């Protein structure tokens, strides 16, 4: 889904220009405000217990299970397990097309994949449509599926396999030219287990008709443990997170707009005058919510290394390190991304990067981009290990937690108020894949471990107007 919202930044009550001019005491005021916030104060009210014990939602909202792992799809294959990142697109006749990752790994039973209990259906695919079969029975069952959904009738029209032979397809992201970027959350070399290297991004076309993409790894975008991708619409710049405790924040400037496969420059973010800046705040509070850092970008040379050391290359060149970057999204020139184990208590951070007006050009140093620690609560009762996130139609961030115990989806307002929107009442699996239909009527969401995909509807207005 191409996010085209009103400026999240303008609604925050204070502009970045003003923040830069403020004294450091302002950051302390922001932090205090967050710590004292009532988690339901800004939202839709208390969550109502679901009699079916699947999802607790605020009053007026309802869910429908539209897909289950193991179910038969329209093309005769099976819905793979572990539905993860998703993106929504406008299809023909007002239909919504959803691209869905599946974080399936070798070693799991064949029934977790799309090809049946013995992988017998794998023979139905041409060799050029399978990126890697694996070796010695270690089948690469990571995949992407496509769902076609009618928001008016709230019915699933079809679902089918759209990418095959990958590993651990996790968060990924949408492109403004209507394709899905499926990211492998792993780094593997060809050898005894695999026929090909893994740790790449694959582009999957959006189609309402059954179609399996030819699996072309976008190697110029980097060989590392990928997580999320968000693409800036004007210059086709792709921002990427790395799911490592000492990961980097990357951007890819393609040689040709809308043609990621034709190569480009891979860079990593560094803080001006503070090389190798540690954003994690583990040992001490190096940066507080609301503080602004001016950044520059460092070119990477060997972007397809034989070892998982791309982040070390960047670090030697001065790159900032982040604590397991995961979900991200872009809205009105601002990129938001979560770091799952950042912060003094390791309960997570959310950052935002404000693009330069000359982003990715030779004039960028005239007005560099800015990095802000948007939120760090250090409070498990309020925010617990943020993972995937998206921008809601009412300009709040929606964040899926991935911590221990009960799992919630949270909303975060532009003024940094946190509220609970959904609770997993079925099990302790994380939510994943949050995405809105283009018409704004329906939110799609996964229960990762139970393999369920939901369509959620309700009074999608700004929460303050509902209450």
Q: Which of 378, 405, 437 is the last residue of a domain?
A: 378
CA 463 from chain centre, in angstroms, equals 23
- Give a yes or no: residue 87 inside a domain: yes
Tens digits of per-residue pLDDT, 330-359? 999 999 999 999 999 999 999 999 999 999
Residues 130 and 167 in one domain: yes
Residues 287 and 340 in one domain: yes
Distance CA 215, CA 133 (A): 12
Q: What are phi and psi of 192, to 5 degrees?
A: -75, -30
Residues 210 and 233 in one domain: no
Residues 285 and 197 in one domain: no
CA 130 from chain centre, in angstroms, equals 24
Nearest to 171 by CA among 392, 309, 329: 329
The predicted pLDDT at position 352 comes to 97
Q: Which of 325, 359, 378 is the last residue of a domain?
A: 378
123: its two tokens: 């023979």
Report the side by side order of strands in the sheet with 408-412.
47-48, 55-58, 418-424, 408-412, 397-401, 386-391
Residues 263 and 125 in one domain: no
The predicted pLDDT at position 107 comes to 87
Report the sign of the C-alpha dihedral through residues 91, 93, 94, 95, in that order: negative
Whether 8 shows a pLDDT value over 50: the answer reads: no
317: its two tokens: 């060149």
- Give a yes or no: residue 2 inside a domain: no
- Give a yes or no: residue 19 inside a domain: no
Residues 244 and 211 in one domain: no
Angle at CA 76, nearest 5°, toward 73 and 82?
45
Residues 262 and 283 in one domain: yes
Q: Which of 357, 378, 399 is the last residue of a domain?
A: 378
pTM, two decimals, is: 0.91
- Give a yes or no: residue 415 inside a domain: yes
- Give a yes or no: residue 290 inside a domain: yes
Provide the domain limits for residue 316: 226-378
Residues 290 and 328 in one domain: yes
CB atoms within 10 A of CB 108: 14
Q: What are phi and psi of 147, to 5 degrees?
A: -120, 140
Q: How many separate domains does the chain show?
A: 3
Tens digits of per-residue pLDDT, 213-259? 999 999 999 999 999 999 998 889 999 999 999 999 999 999 999 99
- Give a yes or no: residue 147 inside a domain: yes
- Give a yes or no: residue 8 inside a domain: no
Whether 2 shows a pLDDT value over 70: the answer reads: no
Whether 12 shows a pLDDT value over 70: the answer reads: no
CA 51 from chain centre, in angstroms, equals 30
List CB contacts of 270: < 8 A, sequence separation 6 or more. Answer: 277, 295, 296, 297, 298, 317, 318, 319, 320
The predicted pLDDT at position 464 comes to 60
Residues 81 and 203 in one domain: yes
Whether 18 shows a pLDDT value over 50: the answer reads: no
Residues 201 and 246 in one domain: no
Distance CA 389, CA 258 (A): 24
Distance CA 124, CA 234 (A): 40
- For the chain, the farthest-separated pair of C-alpha atoms sits apart, in whole angstroms, at 65
- Give a yes or no: residue 154 inside a domain: yes
Q: Residue 91 in contact with residue 208, Cβ under 8 Å?
A: yes
Residues 252 and 336 in one domain: yes
Whether 20 shows a pLDDT value over 60: the answer reads: no
Contacts 24+ apart (CB under 8 A), 176-180: 176/2, 176/231, 176/233, 176/236, 176/258, 177/258, 178/89, 178/205, 178/206, 179/203, 179/204, 179/205, 179/206, 180/87, 180/99, 180/144, 180/204, 180/206
Tens digits of per-residue pLDDT, 276-334? 999 999 988 899 999 999 999 999 999 999 999 999 999 999 999 999 999 999 999 99
Residues 136 and 147 in one domain: yes
């Amino acid at each position: 889904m191409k996010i085209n919202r009103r400026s999240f930044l303008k609604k925050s009550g204070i502009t970045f220009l003003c923040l830069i001019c403020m004294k450091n005491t302002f950051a302390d005021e922001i932090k205090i405000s967050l710590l004292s916030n009532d988690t339901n104060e800004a939202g839709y009210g208390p969550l109502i217990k679901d009699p079916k014990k699947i999802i607790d939602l605020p009053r007026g909202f309802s869910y429908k299970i539209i897909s289950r792992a193991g179910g038969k799809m329209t093309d005769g294959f099976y819905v793979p397990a572990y539905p993860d990142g998703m993106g929504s697109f406008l299809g023909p006749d007002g239909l919504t097309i959803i691209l869905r990752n599946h974080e399936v790994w070798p070693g799991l039973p064949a029934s977790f994949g799309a090809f049946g209990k013995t992988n017998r259906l794998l023979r139905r695919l041409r060799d050029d449509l399978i990126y890697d079969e694996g070796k010695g029975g270690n089948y690469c069952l990571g995949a992407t599926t496509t769902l076609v959904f009618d928001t008016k009738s709230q019915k699933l029209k079809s679902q089918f396999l759209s990418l095959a032979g990958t590993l651990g397809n996790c968060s990924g992201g949408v492109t403004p030219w209507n394709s899905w970027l499926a990211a492998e959350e792993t780094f593997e070399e060809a050898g005894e287990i695999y026929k090909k290297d893994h740790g790449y991004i694959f582009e999957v076309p959006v189609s309402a008709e059954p179609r399996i993409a030819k699996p072309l790894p976008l190697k110029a975008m980097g060989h590392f443990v990928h997580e999320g991708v968000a693409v800036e619409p004007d210059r086709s710049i792709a921002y990427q997170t790395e799911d490592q405790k000492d990961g980097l924040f990357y951007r890819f400037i393609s040689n040709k707009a809308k043609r990621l496969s034709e190569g480009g420059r891979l860079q990593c973010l560094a803080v001006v005058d503070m090389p190798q800046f540690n954003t994690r705040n583990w040992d001490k509070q190096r940066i507080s919510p609301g503080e602004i850092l001016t950044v520059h970008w460092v070119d990477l040379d060997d972007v397809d290394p034989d070892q998982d050391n791309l982040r070390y290359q960047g670090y030697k060149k001065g790159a900032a390190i982040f604590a397991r970057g995961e979900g991200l999204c872009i809205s009105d020139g601002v990129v938001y991304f979560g770091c799952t184990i950042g912060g003094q208590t390791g309960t997570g951070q959310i950052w935002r990067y404000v693009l330069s007006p000359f982003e990715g050009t030779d004039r960028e140093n005239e007005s560099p981009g800015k990095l802000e620690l948007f939120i760090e609560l250090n409070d498990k009762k309020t925010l617990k290990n943020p993972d995937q996130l998206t921008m809601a139609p009412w300009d709040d961030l929606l964040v899926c937690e991935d911590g221990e115990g009960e799992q919630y989806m949270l909303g975060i307002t532009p003024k940094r108020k946190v509220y609970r929107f959904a609770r997993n009442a079925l099990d302790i699996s994380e939510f994943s894949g949050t995405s809105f239909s283009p018409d704004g009527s329906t939110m799609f969401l996964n229960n990762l471990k139970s393999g369920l995909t939901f369509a959620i509807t309700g009074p999608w207005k700004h929460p303050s107007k509902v209450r």
